[in-house]
Structure 1
Amino acid sequence: MNELDDSHSRYALSDPIKLLQPSLLLIEDDPQMGGILMELLEDDYRAHWVTTGKAAIHEFGMNPYDAVIVDRRLPDMDGLDFVRSARREGITVPMLMLTALSSTEEIVSGLDAGANDYLSKPFRFEELNARTRSLLRGYQAQQQSHAIGDWTFKEHRGLIESPSGINIQLSPAEASLLKALCINPDRVFTRKELLMAAFSRDAGEGTIDTYVSYIRRKTVKGLIMTVRGKGYCLGNPMESDPI
């Protein structure tokens, strides 16, 4: 399996068990190591392999992942820079860093950059798999889903699922706004409160109206209710509600 294979379209509806497995992104530039790891990882994960930090950043923009394994030395950037960039963007999925650099200082620098675990080369695959499972258990325990009428907002992945099971990807800004509304689903939030919770203080209150409109276009109008003269709150939508 090579990095040109799409990690999601490979798994057709004819393979529903595979679709239930965690999705994992492997970032490894060594073709031999990457090939071996892919053969082993694909038994337990929907694994996708890229060889550069740039390709990994593109992948994160296109597909949600449950975990990442990233090599410290990539041809276009330090693996630490990739992890730092992901964390700045609010990406919270667990990341395990692989490296030939095993000094205490290097391990500390990786963890401080935002990696959840560090594994020095050479390593046994059994240990890599055990650590990955441990990271996923801890992460999944913290994941939250919110019921909004017949819809489900999967906060940890920035997805909203329709009553018929269709996953709709939200942008980071859209997900932040919906998350703020889910904090107290019975409360009416003013635009100012939503700005403080989900956006920069420098943004205008019209930003909230814009992103509410974006979310409604992707879902249904009733997902977020307008309370005239006050602001917005979560609705109780059905999939068949009019846009």
Structure 2
Amino acid sequence: MTDERTRILVAEDDRRLAAMLEQLLRSEGYEVVLAHDGQAALHAVLTRPFDLLLFDRGLPVRDGLDVLEALRAQGNAVPALILSALGNPSDRVEGLTRGAEDYLAKPFDIDELLARLRVLRRKSAAPTGGLAVPGGVLHPQRHQVDLGEGRTVVLSERENDLLAMLARRPRQVFTREELLDSVFADADDTGVVDSYVHHLRKKLGRECVLTVRGVGYALGRLP
């Protein structure tokens, strides 16, 4: 059971599966709100607070990843788990890149789903201090960089983990292999590290991550 009443939005167009998930999650102590298409899911999140989001990817009207990306662009950082029949590595990478904290392929194990949701809830509820990064402060548990004057940038899980690793040791230069092993353990090509550095620079500016030629990457210079 959850330790407190946790409100979760379940966006799933398969009504039989949605009803099963609703019954399962209610039995675990969650407050469940259902949406059966992407537009309804977007409207729900924009009009009431949620603690967790559980999205199917192939929603009618508006794709689940499009909805999630729109929410992240507006600064909404509610942790999201994508539940999808598309389970190839490239599908999972796309889901995580576009703002999901976790990705689980259908068919899924119920105990694994519940465990992943508990982990997301603990992460979102845990207190956190900020880490200095060029131009702002990273709050790892919120996957968010505060830039000052009310401006924020929301990061995907992998962007967040990569920047946090650099920020926790701002004077250290990490090789691509070290970053691959620590942040991208499910990948086997250091090119994914370069891709996520590119994503971070697009969101936060080129100065946020420093390239050390012949070695790897380090946090950009702090003021």
The bucket for the TM-score relative to the shorter chain is: 0.5 to 0.7
1:85 and 2:37 equivalent?
no
1:52 and 2:4 equivalent?
no
> Cα deviation per residue 1:77-127 (whole Å; 9 max; x = unaligned)?
221111100100111110000111111100000000010000000011111
The residue correspondences of 1:84-123 to structure 2 (distance < 5 A) are 84-123=69-108
In the alignment, what sits opposite 2:52? 67
* Amino acid paired to 1:41: L
* Amino acid paired to 2:53: V
In the alignment, what sits opposite 2:115? 130
Contact preservation (8 Å) 1:51, 1:74: yes
Distance 1:42 1:29 in 2: 19
RMSD: 2.6
Distance 2:67 2:104 in 1: 17
Pick closer, same or farther for the CA change 1:143–1:47 going to 2, 3 Å: farther
Q: Shift of residue 19 of structure 1?
A: 11
Distance 1:119 1:94 in 2: 14
Which protein is richer in strand relative to its size? 2
Q: Which one has a bigger Cα radius of gyration?
A: 1
**Alignment size in residue pairs:** 136
Distance 1:196 1:21 in 2: 32
In the alignment, what sits opposite 1:37? 21
- Deviating runs (4+, > 3 A) in structure 1? none
- Percent identity (aligned): 38
Structure 2 residues without counterparts, runs of 5 or longer: 130-140, 153-223
Contact preservation (8 Å) 1:100, 1:120: yes
SS in 1 for 2:49: coil
In the alignment, what sits opposite 1:198? 150
SS in 1 for 2:55: strand
Distance 1:52 1:98 in 2: 14
Distance 1:19 1:140 in 2: 11
Contact preservation (8 Å) 1:19, 1:46: no
Query: How does the TM-score come out when normalised to structure 2?
Result: 0.56
* Amino acid paired to 1:36: M
Structure 1 residues without counterparts, runs of 5 or longer: 1-17, 145-155, 158-179, 181-194, 201-243
Distance 2:103 2:32 in 1: 19
In the alignment, what sits opposite 1:223? none
Distance 2:12 2:79 in 1: 16
Q: Shift of residue 56 of structure 1?
A: 1.2
The residue correspondences of 1:200-215 to structure 2 (distance < 5 A) are none
> Cα deviation per residue 1:208-234 (whole Å; 9 max; x = unaligned)?
xxxxxxxxxxxxxxxxxxxxxxxxxxx
Does 1 or 2 have the higher relative contact order (CA < 8 Å, sep 6+)? 2
